[in-house]
Amino acid sequence: MAMAMLRAYTGVSKVTCPRCGQALGGVNETACERCHQPLKLTVCLAEADLTAWIALIVSLCLPAGPGIIILVLYVWGQLPPIGPADISVTYVFVYCVLAVPLLLVALLGRRRFARMDQATRWHLAVPAIFATGLFALLSLAPGLGW
């Protein structure tokens, strides 16, 4: 059934392999003839719901900004010595630095994120939103000196 539908679809539309660009006119297998990647016919939303992804990106941008500054200062050797810090200062610094690679992964993974189901998307976004909320509360607390 799936093979027949895939063959019918590729036979009437000028679709190419998403990986290598090979024309798939009426494929006879469930894999690309050139790159041998498995093919499947799916149904998806015309416009992916990116609300959770946008919430994730926004919540990671906030700490990633100071995180980039911390990393640049560290690379240039200009980061002031950090003595014994309390747990809130440590959390803010560590979360800022961790937010930089997390933001890159989230930005580069937009397509994969859009293919996840709604619950999984929010399971990824909500912890970042809470972590950033805690970051904001601790950053605004007196004594941190931003």
Q: Which residues bind Zn ion (CB under 5 A)?
A: 17, 19-20, 22, 32, 34-35
Min separation Cβ 33 and Zn ion, Å: 7
SS3 (DSSP) at 20: coil
Residue 44's closest CA among 14, 18, 7? 18
Which is closer to Zn ion, CB of 7 or CB of 121?
7
The minimum distance between CB 39 and Zn ion, in angstroms, equals 8
76: Cβ contacts below 8 Å, ≥ 6 apart: none
Contact 87, 138 (CB under 8 A): no
CB of 3 to Zn ion, least distance (A): 17
Nearer to Zn ion, 18 or 127 (CB): 18
Q: How far is the CB of 24 from Zn ion (least distance, A)?
A: 8
Nearer to Zn ion, 22 or 88 (CB): 22
Helix H or strand E segment including 55: helix 51-75
CB nearer to Zn ion: pick between 27 and 125? 27
- N-term to C-term CA, the chain: 62
